[in-house]
Chain A
Amino acid sequence: MRIQRAPLASEQPQSPPAGYIHPHPHEQAQEQALSGPRTAPAPGSRAAAVTPFRCEIDVDVTRSAAGSRRAALVADLVVALLAAGRREGLIGDRNGVRLARWSHDGLVGEHLDEVWLRNGSAVAAALDALGPGLEPALAGTLTVVDLGERAVRPAGDWGAGGWGVVTIGPAEAVIRPGDSDDGMVITRRTLVRLAFEVADAAGQAGAVVRALESAASALSRLR
């Protein structure tokens, strides 16, 4: 007989299982009660004491990008970044995810349920199915913007509101020196710039950096 002990005080409350999204997060309910419509201040418009933090990394997506559609590439990046963010404790159940794309009319996008539970192809399908218009952000919303093949480099948060914004830039081909058994070789790599901005730097900046590094290394391991 083995004793299965109840969790100690120090082990409570229990953490949710990976991929769990509460149907009605407390904060969302409160947010709605206080401010009526489901809108949240844009990250940049917070009180002065709150400063945003932005960080970028070039992700080597050579393998992932080879022969695949833009949506599949973006989906791989989303899955890797969300997993890394959860591991870092940066992204939790309070964060709903809104997938968005830049179109000629501005941002279009919508919230996606249980993104944690979806694999790359499911996320890609969701991207393909985005309708017109932009669902408003909630307090905990993380917006993922697919910039498409545009060469611009957005320097802020798009005024998208919510808790944070990830911008996935265009895929760029670069020439890089590398090592092989024969000595130095010149290789052609595909890089995507991944930018992550959170509305409040306090206590989150480190985790943002680590999450980006971790997502980048997960994808480059695909090589």
Chain B
Amino acid sequence: MSTLEHPAGPAAAAVSAEDLLEMYRRMVTIRLFEQSASRLYAQSEVPGFLHLSIGQEATAVGACWNLRRSDGITSTHRGHGHCLAKGLDLTSMFAELMGREGGTCQGRGGSMHIADPGLGIFGANGIVGAGLPIVTGAATAAKLRGDGGVAVGFFGDGAVAQGMFHESVNLAAVWDLPVVFFCENNHYSEFSREQDQHRAGLAARAAGYGIRYEAVDGNDVVAVAELMGGLVEGLRRGEGPVLVEADTYRWHGHYEGDPLRYRTSDELDEAKLRDPLLIARARLAELGTPPGTLDDVDASVAADVEAAIEAARRSPLPDPATIFDHVWVEEEDPVEPEPEQGERFRMMDAVREALTLEMERDERVYAAGIDVGEGGNVFALFRGMTEQFPGRMLDTPISESAIVGSAVGAAMAGMRPVVEIMYMDFIGVCLDALMNQAAKLRFMTGGRAALPLVVRTQFGAGRSSGSQHSQSLEAMLAHIPGLTVVMPSGPVEAYGLLRAAIQSPNPVVFVENRLQYGLKDARPQADYIIPLGRARIVRPGRDITVVTYSRMLQEVVAAAEEVAGDGIDVEVVDLRTISPLDRDTILTSLKKTRRLMVAHEGVQDFGVGAEIAALAANEGFWHLDAPVVRIAPPAMPVPYSPSLEKAWLPDRVVVADALRRLAEVGPR
């Protein structure tokens, strides 16, 4: 075994016996942790999924050996080794697996979601490939800070087939990010063999992306550490991303309980001959370390592991009363000032001015997106800002998953990204980053991950943009707990709300209506800000409450003015923030008027109006004098032809008509 060949890493100091002994100790720790976890799972002490990396310990320890505490890693569903190698402690990890309060993430995450951003661990991940956009963001943060930080993204051979892999590696290549994409090739993706998953190997792929590729024996911790030592040093000096492929093998099934029908026991026996622990022992023997020393290490780790399990068992299960903790950061709102009446400015000025002010105030703020930098945004919102903020207005490839996913990583690494999805319709191609990462990571990490990020996007029907460039998809986003969804109705709101969104500790999707970019209103004072989660009474009234938001507000206000002539006094509520919903303002208004209408541009079925109608039926039932009315387009794709689109999209005439009829229903 001592004659094992391993490709020597570029220019790195030979590993000392002392260092190797420490690497050995870390690998034994991972091995015994996972063997114990397997036992605890079988005894039902670990209640959830468990994917073990026994046999792969050398990749985790070797890859993290040269990292600083502040360097970031992202992990996978098979991530215990990575977390232990990056410095997490045994007790909190056992407690996490057991779902206990003393867990790394207070029992909110479990095995697949262990994270500790304080240690640079930006999360194991239950979504294959999802760590890669995130590590790209961690590397972006390091690069923007210019502090020599690096990032390592672990992934499996199966994840190579994921679109997020492609987008992340490509973005890292284009941005020259200090990141190692570290593939633990264990030759299986669940039950499928590597050769059935892709035709081209990673070397060819790296060439395709125009980045460096290195292969290494993933069972030899020294080989891995030496290779990574050289690479990390290069990245700290400013070299670009590297794709590393470490050859290894997992001994257990894909998950605990896997019947392992897809491979033979001979194959496993052969793999066990290349046990990373045996290889390290052989190397230590070569360096003169007596076997007794190694046995002592084994025994002391075993004692540590047993003590950690006992300590974890003493931690209580979380109190159900704390169930809502960590979903959102909740804090007192700033007082909403009265907007001053300055010169008139356009909605597009509002967006630019809000971003500009926040970038001036806080150097952690940066913007990224397709044509956001040199291009100045496709609607020219940011023209000239690249000169004003060099290096902080970033152009991206057409890679929405990487755009949003990297924002998640950068936010966890301490930045405040403001990224752009050019059209709201494109949310579909990056939904994971929003739904499973941005929205959930704070909760799943027991509040350890901070996610102060803004995804700006725009929508708008009425200009024959067709079914894929017109949609109002806020209901879909509002259905995702953890996301804040904001839709300003005009320039003043856009300014105050965007500032609040950028300052928010929560992930915010900020949705502008492009038909309003030219809309003008009086510019408020520079420090004007609007608290998130608060609706506004735009027009007080007595007879009917209309809840609306975004561009539809203009239609509703116009309709309200019209029916005022018929003696119908309409109260108009501008939601401003869709989620979390300002239930109190709606209910208070309903109590007064006893009639409710909701108007929006998103299609009616399962829309925001349905939620508000449910609120009225559920909590406002006692105050309703008439059925709730929903004014929204019918549930069908937005039509292209002007005649069809006009029939589809409700306007002030439709609203006024419905208001008149609603006023006639029930007691007066």
Interface on A for B, CB 8 Å cutoff? Answer: 1-7, 12-14, 16-17, 20, 23
Contacts and interface: CB of A to CB of B under 8 A. Distances in A.
B581 A1 contact: no
Contacts of A23: 667
A96 B313 CA distance: 58
Interface stretch (B150-158, B171-179, B324-332): B324-332
A12 B324 contact: no
Contacts of B504: 1
Contacts of B562: none
B333 A2 contact: yes
A21 B327 CA distance: 39
A4 B506 contact: no
Interface residues of B, number: 27
Contacts of B618: 6-7, 12-14
Interface in B549-597: 577, 580-584
Given A1-B329, A1-B484, 6 more contacts: A1-B533, A2-B533, A3-B330, A5-B324, A14-B622, A23-B667
Contacts, number: 49
A20 B624 CA distance: 12
Contact of A14 (B580, B582, B584, B621): B621
A17 B622 CA distance: 7
Interface of B: 324, 327-333, 484, 504, 506, 531-533, 577, 580-584, 615, 618-619, 621-623, 667
Contacts of B667: 23
Contacts of B332: 2
A121 B332 CA distance: 44
A4 B584 contact: yes
A2 B583 CA distance: 11
B558 to A, nearest CB: 29
B580 A3 contact: yes
A13 B617 CA distance: 10
Nearest to B580: A3
B328 A6 contact: no
Nearest to B625: A23
Nearest to B481: A3
Interface of A is mostly: loop
A64 B615 CA distance: 43
A12 B615 CA distance: 12
Contact of B330 (A1, A6, A16, A20): A1
A54 B615 CA distance: 42
Contacts of B331: 1-2
B333 A1 contact: yes
Contacts of B615: 6
Nearest to B331: A1
A6 B613 CA distance: 13
A1 B328 contact: yes
Nearest to B577: A1
B622 A1 contact: no
B330 A2 contact: yes
Nearest to B500: A1
A1 B621 contact: no
A171 to B, nearest CB: 37
Most buried by B among A3, A13, A16: A3
A20 B622 CA distance: 7
Contacts of B531: 1
Contacts of B328: 1, 3
A23 B666 CA distance: 11
B621 A6 contact: no
A13 B620 CA distance: 11
A197 B570 CA distance: 47
Given A1-B330, A1-B333, A14-B621, A6 B583 contact: yes
A4 B622 contact: no
Nearest to B579: A3
For A1, A5, A6, A23, the residue with the greatest tally of chain B CB atoms inside 10 Å of its CB is A1
A1 B580 contact: yes
B619 A1 contact: no
Contacts of B330: 1-3
A23 B594 CA distance: 14
Contacts of B324: 3, 5
A1 B583 contact: no
Nearest to B531: A1
A18 to B, nearest CB: 10
A186 to B, nearest CB: 51
A65 B600 CA distance: 59
A5 B481 CA distance: 11
B509 to A, nearest CB: 14
A6 B618 CA distance: 9
A4 to B, nearest CB: 4
A7 B533 contact: no
A14 B581 CA distance: 19
A17 B588 CA distance: 13
B621 A4 contact: no
